[in-house]
Each structure stands twice: as C-alpha cells, then as structure tokens.
Amino acid sequence: MSKSILDELPALRAQAAEEDEHKRMLVILSREMAEEDKAVFRQHGKVVEWSAKLLNISFSNLEFDYLLIDIRSKEARLTLGRQDLEEYNLVSYCFWVQKGVDDFIDQLKAVAVSSIPSYAINKKDFEHMLLSPKISAPSVVGSFLRLVKDCVSGS
C-alpha cells in the first residue's frame, strides 16, 4: 500500500518548526536599545551590530545569532531590501505606539516587540518569547485608532 502525502504531514510540520528554530535572527531597531537589553541577547548567542562599514556584505556572510540593525539609517534600509529575509527570523524592536501602525513592520513581516524578555531560561525559550506575539487586552481606544487608520489608508 502506498503512502499518502497526508501520512507525511506531521513529519513535515516538525521539520519546518525545526528549521525555524535554527534560523538566525535579525533584530530591526526603530529606537535605541539599552545596553542591558543588548546584554540579554549576548547571554543567548553571538550579537553583531550592523553598521555602514558592512554595507556591501551579505548577511549570510556574517557570523551571528542576532544581528541588530537600526532601520532609521538609510543604508540599513537599502541593505535590508537586498537581502533574502526568508532565511531569518525577524523581530522589530520599536515603541509600543508603532505596533500595528508603522509600515516597515508589515513590510518586513517582523514580530513587533517593545521590550526584551529578560527572564528566559535558555536560548530556545528566549527566542520563543521574542517570536510569539503577546496576547493583548481588548482596547476600545486601540480599536478606534485602527478603524481610523484603515479609513485613512483606504483599506
């Protein structure tokens, strides 16, 4: 009896989850990151801070677990546009008011965070906390602002 593709589905899901776990992480900064937050990243892996001197170097040629990139820099935005971002997990470190509002977060398909978890027990737990969006409390004001944003943008 031949195997169905459905028989292989659980194995394929497990393989995809494992591949995501092994992806390196790009941390897109739209605000300054405190040294203590950078230290949390250093506790879990190798951190590289992107600068203009790395302009012509592909991310795939850099050795890092976490690449911090300040998107406020035009050179950083141009460099991000030239990379295959599918190879990486993306997190946007931004102000809470930018979540769900700023276009760059959606354009990069990044998970928006406004704080760095400092209580992770290991690297896997730390990355899971970064990549899993927090469940937000219902907000009438937030709903109204999203409605206004949708009306203004013509969605």
What residues contact 151, with CB distance under 8 A and at least 6 apart? Answer: none
Is residue 5 assigned to a domain? Answer: no
Question: Global pTM?
Answer: 0.73
Q: How many domains does the chain have?
A: 1
Q: Name the nearest CA neighbour of 110 among 98, 122, 125.
A: 98
**What is the pLDDT at residue 12?**
44
Is residue 136 assigned to a domain? Answer: yes
Distance from C-alpha of 12 to C-alpha of 94, rounded to nearest angstrom: 34
What residues contact 58, with CB distance under 8 A and at least 6 apart? Answer: 83
Is residue 139 assigned to a domain? Answer: yes
Is residue 27 assigned to a domain? Answer: yes
- Taking a C-beta distance cutoff of 8 angstroms, is the pair 62, 25 a contact? no
Domain span at 39: 10-153
Is residue 21 assigned to a domain? Answer: yes
Is residue 34 assigned to a domain? Answer: yes
Bridge partners, residue 44, by sequence:
none
Is residue 1 assigned to a domain? Answer: no
Is residue 3 assigned to a domain? Answer: no
Residues of the chain with pLDDT under 70: 1-21, 97-103, 106, 155
**What is the pLDDT at residue 149?**
82
**Residue 64: exposed, middle, or buried by beta-carbon count in 10 A (0-12, 13-18, 19+)?**
middle
Place of tokens 């250093």: 42
